Structure 1
């Protein structure tokens, strides 16, 4: 009776979840070999228990489905793709793993590295800016420290792609904090968010003269000086890259409000070099363009 009940449950689960194959994951596919009692027999694959076949199979990454990966410097749960729901991020992710946006838009997975959903150790060399094509084309002098940028409950590391509603919305939602650069309580800090792929409304946020916290977490509460434009790529314009730059200055800065349409980072830095100098830290992230958003 117990065996029949177990088989009934298994059959129901298999039918209900059409994405589960012999390898129990849409991201894996069987090689055709079995590995009962010989897990090392799998070549370029791993020995996986199949509840569908009720045996051990050699399974490799799918050749027909794009495999999501964790953000840079984070690691997947047990080296495999374990998806999760952002609406209930704690479901299925064990301690020290968080439900984060993967490399595939709209797919979230359990990744290790921080309790906030992203690692607090983003890439720290300027070479990352050069490799990404951000410098010198858009940021002439790249900062030597890269930031984790937080919007409400969503945090983004350097180069991450996001569709999170905490970031992307028709309602302006400026960054709430940045992590990774230790600010000085004797200085002021200004934060800029720029859409470098936009043909208009390039400057999205400009927050000026925030006192340093003296820690590696700097909050940016309140309303941006100008402008305040949602991080939302225009319809049918594809993915956009948003650059975040943090400037440190001793005196209170009072730059002229720039033209947000023709704004360029290089032009602003050149005009206001005496007040701001070069950025001390920064980051960039991608937002997936969606038709009709």
Structure 2
């Protein structure tokens, strides 16, 4: 279990992370969401002992990362796919890691195979790897010690759609076998597809967290009509608030029956009426973190 309690980090007068608390339990994938500069990477670095907190604590199974004798056997970490010696081959990177962790080096080949790096890729130097290949190598490194916990920061960067689908299955299987995953990503639909719980951070503070289905259930109903201006007029007359989506729908903070009755009363033809779902995650994310990316960019 990962336990973060009142974690804060300040750089001068700037609070990069401000009183963040959450837990990640075994058997779950927790999606850690937020715009650039929101504090996700800093929080993960504090959990892994790379950045000292200004206040608060972060523990794994009740112990600080720095106090673990051989943390790679307990926690697999991928914070920067490019943080590998560019002059070494993929096999050399994992072999040295196995020697450091006291793992049988025969497990290196199995780890390479698990992430889809064949013998040709294994013999290639890391400087010749694409970003997607480095991500795969980073995942192999993180899982080499057969840990029970994975902490991954943007692991899907550089992966093609097939690679993203593969990674989703890998993480889901890991959690289903009792593992704990903390996953940061900008790919909201991919996070929704694999995560059990969500943590949304904005401006260094947690703005929402909880079970994915419970959070999305409160995001409203997606409605799409043959005549969108007429739909907006009907919603306005009924006193219902709605937010337009990028694909022509409207997310309304009301249940489907209320919306359906209002549309039927006006003789309006509806093309779609359902819980907001993935559109709701996008809308929730944008609403909760509105303006944070701009604020960070000009700070």
Same fold (TM over 0.5): no
> If the TM-score is normalised by the length of the shorter chain, which range does it land in?
under 0.3
Choose between structure 1 and 2 for higher RCO, CA contacts under 8 A separated by at least 6 residues: 2
Q: Which has the larger radius of gyration?
A: 1
